[in-house]
Structure 1
Amino acid sequence: MQRRHFLQAASASLLPAGAALAQSYPSKPIRLIVPFPAGGATDLFARTLSQKMGEKLGNSVVVDNKPGAGGAIGADLAAKAPADGYTLLLATTSTHAIGPSITARLPYDTVRDFTPIGHVGNAPSIMLVPNSSPARSVKEWIELARKNPGRFNYASSGNGTVVQLTAELFKSMAGVFVTHIPYKGTALAMPDLVSGKVDLLFDALPTGLPFVRDGRLRALAVTSLKRSPLVPELPPVSDTLPGFESVTWFGLYGPKGLPAELVARVNTAAAQATTDPEVREKLEKLGIEPATSTPAQFAALVAQDAAKWKKIIVERKITND
Structure 2
Amino acid sequence: MKPHLLRRRDVLLVTGAAAAVTCVPALSQTPTYPSRPITLVVGYPPGGSTDLTARVLGEQLARTLGQPVVIENVGGAGGALGAQRVAQANADGHTLLLGSNNEMAIAGLINPALRYDPLKQFTPIGRVASQPMVLVASNQSGMKDMSSFIERVKQNPGKFSYGSSGVGTALNLAGEMVKQAAGLFIVHIPYRGVAPLTTDLIGGQLELGVFVLSSGLPQITSGKVVALGVTERARSPVAPNIPALSELPILRNVDIGTWFGLWGPAGLPAGVTQRLNAALAESLKAPDLVQRLTASGATISDPGVALAQFQATEIDKYRRIVQQANIRV
TM-score (norm 2): 0.86
- What does 1:92-103 align with in structure 2 at a 5 Å threshold? 92-103=100-111
Cα deviation, residue 109, structure 1: 1.2
- Matched with 2:70 is 62
Cα deviation, residue 38, structure 1: 2.2
The AA in structure 1 aligned to 2:309 is A
1:258 is paired with a residue whose SS is: coil
1:157-204: CA deviation from partner (whole Å, max 9, x where unpaired): 222222222111110011111122222223212233224332211112
- Matched with 1:319 is 328
CA contact (8 A) 2:280 2:303 kept: no
Q: Determine whether 1:112 maps to 2:149.
A: no
Cα deviation, residue 133, structure 1: 3.9
Greater Cα offset, 74-83 or 166-175: 74-83
Q: Determine whether 1:265 maps to 2:275.
A: yes
- Matched with 1:185 is 193
1:127-146: CA deviation from partner (whole Å, max 9, x where unpaired): 11123444332233212222
CA contact (8 A) 2:102 2:168 kept: no
1:60 and 1:50 map into 2 onto residues whose CA distance is 8
Q: Determine whether 1:230 maps to 2:238.
A: yes
- What does 1:202-213 align with in structure 2 at a 5 Å threshold? 202-213=210-221
- Matched with 2:266 is 256
Q: Give the share of equivalent positions with the same residue, in percent.
A: 39
1:266-309: CA deviation from partner (whole Å, max 9, x where unpaired): 11211222221111221133332222223x62112111111122
5+ residue gaps, structure 1, are: 1-5, 14-19
Of the three residues 47, 60, 71, the one matched with 2:55 is: 47
1:124 and 1:168 map into 2 onto residues whose CA distance is 15
Q: Determine whether 1:220 maps to 2:228.
A: yes
- Matched with 1:17 is none
Greater Cα offset, 89-98 or 154-163: 154-163
Cα deviation, residue 205, structure 1: 1.9
Of the three residues 244, 263, 266, the one matched with 2:254 is: 244
Taking a change above 3 Å as real, the CA distance of residues 176 and 31 of structure 1, as seen in their structure-2 partners, is same
Q: Determine whether 1:283 maps to 2:293.
A: yes
Cα deviation, residue 11, structure 1: 11
Cα deviation, residue 12, structure 1: 9.1
CA contact (8 A) 1:135 1:141 kept: yes
- Matched with 2:86 is 78
Paired residues in the alignment total 308
Taking a change above 3 Å as real, the CA distance of residues 182 and 70 of structure 1, as seen in their structure-2 partners, is closer
CA contact (8 A) 2:181 2:253 kept: no
The AA in structure 2 aligned to 1:215 is G
Q: Determine whether 1:145 maps to 2:157.
A: no
The AA in structure 2 aligned to 1:192 is D
The AA in structure 1 aligned to 2:290 is R
CA contact (8 A) 1:155 1:186 kept: no
CA contact (8 A) 1:53 1:273 kept: yes
1:82-130: CA deviation from partner (whole Å, max 9, x where unpaired): 2211111111111111110112222211111111000001121111112
1:233 and 1:144 map into 2 onto residues whose CA distance is 23
Cα deviation, residue 78, structure 1: 0.9
The AA in structure 1 aligned to 2:96 is L
1:108 and 1:32 map into 2 onto residues whose CA distance is 18
The AA in structure 1 aligned to 2:239 is V
- The CA RMSD over aligned residues, in Å, is 2.4
2:306 is paired with a residue whose SS is: helix
TM-score (norm 1): 0.88
**Which 4+ runs in 1 deviate beyond 4 A?**
9-13
The AA in structure 1 aligned to 2:288 is E
